C-alpha cells in the first residue's frame, strides 16, 4: 500500500515542510497525525512564503486532500485564521481540507493552565504556550476532554463545558496558590457561544477521517503522513520530560490517523546539516559560544528563530549518535540533509560521533535526559568550504568538502541520502534518487 511518512530526526524544525511540499505532487492525500499549532512548517515558492502551523502542508495544493487526523489537537481560531490567510492570497480551501471528528479541541483554559505551569521555574519545560500539553492531558484523562465532533452538538457542548469550566477555574486557582498572580477565570456559557461560532466554520470540514483514509488506501491512492515536531521530542522515546505530548515518530500514525503502520512503505527521515533545539532540555553538541561565535552565526544565517513563538533556537553541530538513534526508532529508509548552505564559509566543521559519559566513551544515545545532560560530545573535525552552494544542481557540483561532509553524515547514520537542500526554495534541492 502506497503510504509515505516524512519525519524529523532531531528536535524539530528540520525543514520537513519543504520535503512534504516537494513530494506533495506525487500524493493524493497529506495527513497530519500528531501535535497541533505548536508546529511550524514553512514552504517557499519563489517569492511566495507560507508559514503553516496547524494545517497540513498539502493544503497549499487544492488537488491534494489534506487531513487533520484524530491524533492532532485543534485550536479552532487558529484553524480559521490559517484558512482565511490562505484564501486571502488566492489559495482555495474547501472540501480538500478534512478534520477528524475525533481530534481533540484546545480551549483558552488549556493555554492558561500551561502559562501557569510554565511560570513555575522548577517545572518549566520551555513549551510553545499553545495549550498542547494540557489538551493531551485531558484527552488521556478523558473526563474533561472535548472532541471536534462534540462542537457540532450545541446542547451537549454547553452541558460539557458547564461541567468542565468550573473545575478548570478551581484547578487554575490551585496552580496559583503560592503565586501572587491571579489566574484568568472562564465562563462556560460565553466559551460555549464562542466555540459554537467556530463550529459553523469547521462543520463542512469535519468527518470520520480514519474511514476516508481506509477508503483512500483501498482505492490505491498515495498518502503522505507529515509528522510534526521531531523524533527527539516524542513523548515516549524523546528526551523526556523535555518533549512534546504526542507521538512524533511514525509510530504515531496508527493511533493518530487510524492507518495501520504496515500501510506506510516509505519512511523519509529529515535532518539538518547541523542541530537546533528550541525550549529546554539537554543538547550535547550545542554551540554556546557567545554573540560572535559559530552558534550565533548558524542562528542568523539559518534564520533559526521559532516559526511559532519567534524564540531564538539553540544551535549546535550535527550529532550523528542522536540521529542514528532516531533513524532506528523511526525505521527510516532514507534521509535528506537540509540547510547545507548555512554551513558555507566555516573553515572547519565538527560532527558528533560519540559521547563521554562520566569518563566512559559511549556511541549510543542515552535517551534518559539525566544521563544525556552529563554527556560531553566527542567530535570528528572535517574541512569546511567557502563557495556559495545555493545554485548547485547536482552532488558532483558541490565543493569536495561539502560532498564529503554529506557522505559522512550518510555513513555515520547508516542510511542512503535522497535529497540535499541548499536553500529554502523548491529549486534549491539536489535529488539523489
Ligand atoms: P509543546 O509541544 O508546546 O508542549 O512544547 C514542548 C517542547 O517541544 C518545547 O521544547 C517546544 O519548544 C518543543 N516544540 C514543540 N513543537 C515544536 C516544533 O514544531 N518544533 C520544534 N520544537 C517544538
Q: What is the CATH number of the domain that holds 262?
A: 3.40.440.10
Q: How confident is the model over 98-116, as a mean pLDDT? A: 96
What does the pLDDT read at residue 388? 96
State whether the beta carbon of 132 lies less than 6 angstroms from ligand 1: yes
What does the pLDDT read at residue 375? 98
Is 144 found in the same domain as 54? no
State whether the beta carbon of 117 lies less than 6 angstroms from ligand 1: no
Domain boundary pick from 182, 201, 220 = 201
Q: Within 13 Å and on the Cβ side, how many CA atoms surround 136?
A: 18
Is 164 found in the same domain as 75? no
What does the pLDDT read at residue 24? 77
Mutate which of 39, 104, 233 for ligand 1 pocket (most atoms within 8 A of beta carbon): 233
Is 227 found in the same domain as 256? yes
Structural domain containing residue 123: 104-201
What is this structure's pTM? 0.95
What does the pLDDT read at residue 58? 92
Q: How confident is the model over 29-45, as a mean pLDDT? A: 91
Please tell me the residue having the least CA distance from ligand 1 atom 5: 127
Q: How confident is the model over 5-25, as a mean pLDDT? A: 92
Give the Cα separation of 55 and 20 in Å (integer).
13
| Cβ atoms within 10 Å, residue 388 | 13
What are the tens digits of pLDDT across the range 113-143?
999 888 887 888 999 999 999 999 999 999 9
What does the pLDDT read at residue 34? 98
Is 111 found in the same domain as 177? yes
Is 340:419 a contact under the CB 8 Å cutoff? no
What does the pLDDT read at residue 21? 87
What are the tens digits of pLDDT across the range 74-86?
999 999 999 999 9
pLDDT surpassing 80 at residue 233: yes
What does the pLDDT read at residue 245? 97
What are the tens digits of pLDDT across the range 351-381?
999 999 999 999 999 988 999 999 999 999 9
Q: Which residues contact 114 (CB under 8 A, 6 or more apart)?
A: 127, 129, 130, 131, 132, 133, 134
Is 354:363 a contact under the CB 8 Å cutoff? yes
Domain boundary pick from 267, 283, 304 = 267
Is 125 found in the same domain as 55? no
Is 176 found in the same domain as 120? yes
Q: What is the CATH number of the domain that holds 142?
A: 1.10.300.10
Is 183 found in the same domain as 280? no
Preceding amide of 241 cis, omega within 30:
yes
Q: How confident is the model over 185-209, as a mean pLDDT? A: 97
What are the tens digits of pLDDT across the range 215-225?
999 999 999 99
Please tell me the residue having the least CA distance from ligand 1 atom 8: 244
State whether the beta carbon of 282 lies less than 6 angstroms from ligand 1: no
What is the rounded average pLDDT for all residues in the chain?
94
pLDDT surpassing 60 at residue 184: yes
pLDDT surpassing 80 at residue 197: yes
What does the pLDDT read at residue 308? 77
Give the Cα separation of 288 and 296 in Å (integer).
8
Domain boundary pick from 228, 250, 267 = 267
Q: Is 63 exposed, middle or buried (0-12, 13-18, 19+ CB in 10 A)?
A: exposed
Give the Cα separation of 201 and 98 in Å (integer).
12
- The strand pair at 65-68 and 29-32 is best described as parallel
What does the pLDDT read at residue 106? 98
Q: What percent of the chain has pLDDT over 90?
A: 86
Q: How confident is the model over 19-39, as a mean pLDDT? A: 92
Confidence of residue 180 (pLDDT cuts 50, 70, 90): low
Is 108 found in the same domain as 89? no
SS3 sequence of the chain: CCEEEEEECCCCCCCHHHHHHHHHCCCCEEEECCCCCCCCEEEEECCEEEEECCCCHHHHCCCCEEEECCCCEECHHHHHHHHHHHHHCCCCCCCCEEEECCCEECCHHHHHHHHHHHHCHHHCCCCCCCCHHHHHHHHHHCCCCCEHHHHHCHHHHHHHHHHHHHHHHHHHHHHCCCCCCCCCCCCHHHHHHHHHHHHHHHHHHEECHHHHHHHHHHCCCCEEEEEEEEHHHCCCCCCCCCCCCCCCCCCHHHHHHCCCHHHEEEEEEEEECCEEECCCCCCCCECCCCCCCHHHHHHHHCCCECCCCCCECEEECEEHHHHHHHHHHHCCCEEEEECHHHHCCCCEEEEEEEEEECCEEECCCCCCHHHHCCEEEEEEEEECCCCCCCCCCCHHHCCHHHHHHHHHHHHHHCCEEEEEECCCECCCEEECC
What are the tens digits of pLDDT across the range 142-155?
999 999 999 999 99
State whether the beta carbon of 41 lies less than 6 angstroms from ligand 1: no
pLDDT surpassing 70 at residue 1: no
- Of the candidates 342, 347, 349, 367, the one whose C-alpha atom is nearest the C-alpha of residue 357 is 367
Confidence of residue 234 (pLDDT cuts 50, 70, 90): very high
Distance 353 CA to ligand 1 centre (A): 26
Residues in the chain: 433
Is 37 found in the same domain as 79? yes
Query: Cell 566555516 appears where?
Result: 346
Q: How many domains does the chain have?
A: 3
Give whole-number Cα distances, 313 to 14, 302, 316, 330, in Å. Answer: 12, 10, 10, 24
Confidence of residue 310 (pLDDT cuts 50, 70, 90): confident
Is 131:75 a contact under the CB 8 Å cutoff? yes
Is 387 found in the same domain as 276? yes
Measure CA of the first residue to CA of the last residue in the chain; give whole Å.
21
Q: What is the CATH number of the domain that holds 301?
A: 3.90.170.10
What are the tens digits of pLDDT across the range 252-306?
999 999 999 899 999 999 999 999 999 899 999 999 899 999 999 999 999 999 8
Mutate which of 244, 276, 302 for ligand 1 pocket (most atoms within 8 A of beta carbon): 244
In this structure, what C-alpha cell is assigned to residue 339? 540547510
What does the pLDDT read at residue 121? 79
* Catalytic site positions: 13, 41
Is 297 found in the same domain as 422? yes
Is 389 found in the same domain as 347? yes
Amino acid at each position: 500500500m502506497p503510504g509515505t511518512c516524512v519525519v524529523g530526526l532531531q528536535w524539530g524544525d528540520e525543514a520537513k515542510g519543504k520535503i512534504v511540499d516537494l513530494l506533495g505532487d506525487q500524493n493524493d492525500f497529506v495527513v497530519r497525525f500528531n501535535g497541533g499549532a505548536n508546529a511550524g512548517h514553512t514552504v517557499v515558492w519563489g517569492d511566495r512564503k507560507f508559514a503553516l502551523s496547524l494545517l497540513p502542508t498539502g493544503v497549499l495544493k487544492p488537488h491534494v486532500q489534506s487531513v487533520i487526523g484524530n491524533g492532532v489537537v485543534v485550536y479552532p481560531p487558529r484553524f480559521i485564521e490559517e484558512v482565511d490567510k490562505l484564501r486571502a492570497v488566492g489559495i482555495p480551501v474547501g472540501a480538500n481540507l478534512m478534520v477528524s471528528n475525533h481530534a481533540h479541541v484546545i480551549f483558552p483554559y488549556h493555554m492558561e493552565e500551561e502559562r501557569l505551569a510554565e511560570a513555575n521555574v522548577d517545572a518549566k519545560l520551555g513549551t510553545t504556550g499553545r495549550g498542547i500539553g494540557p489538551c493531551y492531558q485531558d484527552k488521556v484523562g478523558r473526563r474533561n476532554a472535548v472532541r471536534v465532533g462534540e462542537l457540532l452538538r450545541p446542547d451537549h457542548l454547553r452541558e460539557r463545558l458547564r461541567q468542565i469550566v468550573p473545575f478548570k477555574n478551581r484547578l487554575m486557582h490551585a496552580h496559583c496558590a503560592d503565586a501572587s498572580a491571579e489566574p484568568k477565570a472562564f465562563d462556560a456559557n460565553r466559551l460555549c457561544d464562542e466555540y459554537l461560532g467556530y463550529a459553523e466554520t469547521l462543520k463542512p470540514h469535519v468527518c470520520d477521517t480514519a474511514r476516508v483514509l481506509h477508503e483512500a488506501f483501498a482505492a490505491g491512492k498515495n498518502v503522505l503522513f507529515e509528522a510534526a515536531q521531531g523524533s527527539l521530542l516524542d513523548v515516549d522515546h524523546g528526551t523526556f520530560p523535555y518533549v512534546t505530548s504526542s507521538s512524533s515518530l511514525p509510530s504515531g500514525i496508527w493511533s493518530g490517523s487510524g492507518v495501520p503502520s504496515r500501510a506506510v512503505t516509505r519512511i523519509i527521515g529529515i535532518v539538518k546539516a547541523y542541530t537546533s533545539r528550541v525550549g529546554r532540555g539537554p543538547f550535547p553538541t550545542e554551540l554556546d559560544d557567545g554573540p560572535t561565535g559559530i552558534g550565533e552565526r548558524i542562528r542568523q544565517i539559518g534564520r533559526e528563530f521559532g516559526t511559532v513563538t519567534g524564540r531564538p533556537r539553540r544551535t549546535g553541530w550535527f550529532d550523528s549518535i542522536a540521529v542514528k538513534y532516531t533513524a532506528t526508532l523511526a525505521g527510516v529508509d532514507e534521509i535528506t540533509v537540509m540547510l547545507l548552505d548555512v554551513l558555507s564559509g566555516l573553515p572547519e566543521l565538527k560532527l558528533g560521533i560519540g559521547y563521554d559519559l562520566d569518563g566512559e566513551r559511549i556511541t549510543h544515545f542515552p535517551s534518559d535526559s539525566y544521563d544525556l545532560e552529563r554527556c560531553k560530545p566527542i567530535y570528528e573535525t572535517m574541512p569546511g568550504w567557502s563557495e556559495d552552494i545555493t545554485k548547485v544542481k547536482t552532488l558532483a557540483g558541490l565543493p569536495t568538502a561539502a560532498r564529503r561532509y554529506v557522505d559522512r553524515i550518510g555513513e555515520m547514520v547508516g542510511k542512503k541520502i535522497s535529497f540535499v537542500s541548499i536553500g529554502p526554495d523548491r529549486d534549491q534541492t539536489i535529488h539523489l534518487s
